[in-house]
Copies of this chain bind each other. A is one copy, B any other.
């Protein structure tokens, strides 16, 4: 990320728009589950009826990006053809049918007779979303925002500008035939505005970055608004002495090669020394065949790995068909390595020793800790959340894949009949503190 990402103070115009989003979001927060559902269906219908216009706009973006020399990977992500649009529209309808995350009673307690405390889920308020390339992310995030009663201020990449503008117009048109004020969502168009978003403390409640590690890190370091998400995803797979070798290899291959550019792909393979020889003699030729470049520590080089790993390798997210390999003496060594280099995304162990597995699951404090399965399951859809805004590797909740549940907060309601605190301080009244059924 270069210095073109200077964070300017928000313009009066931006603050005005943001306050409008906040006001509309406040009204949105109070409408019913069904009204929010209908708003999503209306957005889906509106996109469907404008499919040609959207795909045409995307063609323009694709053509321009080709002329501007955008790389193939980004152009693939930028593409929104009829099939992909249809899938996104279906996605909105699926989000519409997810259980309402709002108004859930989390706690009910009698503090005293007729003094009843409740805790219920409410929307966060306004989401600030900064995303790159993929215009389908806009559709997904808007549907999650509206479903969870939140407003959204969005900023897409300049490469997708026509697509995003047409999508936004269609989504707003959909909302205008629903109970949701279309001003609850807005699209920022200049790069300066995108970064000013980071200064909208008190108006924006959560920043959701969807893009490169550099973008995410820049955002985390330049805002006091909470940021959901993660920069690096350095995931580990530990093959224990008690591993089934075939199973370990299958899991290692899937974790590395099934989609190497994903954050939940592994970057480092840790292997117990007593199983390293048989494991690597099987694994090295297969990884070679799959085009995976193996980079090893000195012990693993003795067992046939030809590239030498440096200290930097343990801290590198390759996002590519490259895998660093380290031989460890014990489970504790594996845990020490993970504790030092993990980005707390997802780590897995392969072992048939229950006790070892339990130690690993207990000791590793990543947002996902797996036993005998691929790290690639770290995903909102695979977890059954229906949709996700991203994956958080932060310590505080929401952690891991974040769906609708992560876009809400709660408030405490207290219903009394004239109760005052003085009566309890004086001892005239006593709290009963009785948990009530929810």
Contacts and interface: CB of A to CB of B under 8 A. Distances in A.
A420 B224 contact: no
Contact of A125 (B26, B258, B395): B395
Q: Is the interface of A mostly helix, strand, loop or mixed?
A: mixed
Interface in A329-352: 339
B226 A226 contact: yes
A377 B411 contact: no
B373 A418 contact: yes
Contacts of A369: 411-414
A218 interface: no
Interface string A380-421: 001110000000001111011000000001111111111111
Interface residues of A, number: 68
Nearest to A124: B395
A89 to B, nearest CB: 22
A349 to B, nearest CB: 11
B373 A419 contact: yes
A285 to B, nearest CB: 19
Contacts of A417: 372-373
A422 interface: yes
A206 B125 contact: no
Contact of A111 (B226, B362, B384): B384
Interface string A110-132: 01000101000010110000000
A416 B29 CA distance: 39
A143 interface: no
Interface in A33-65: none
9 contacts: A220-B224, A251-B420, A253-B420, A254-B422, A368-B411, A368-B413, A373-B418, A376-B420, A395-B409
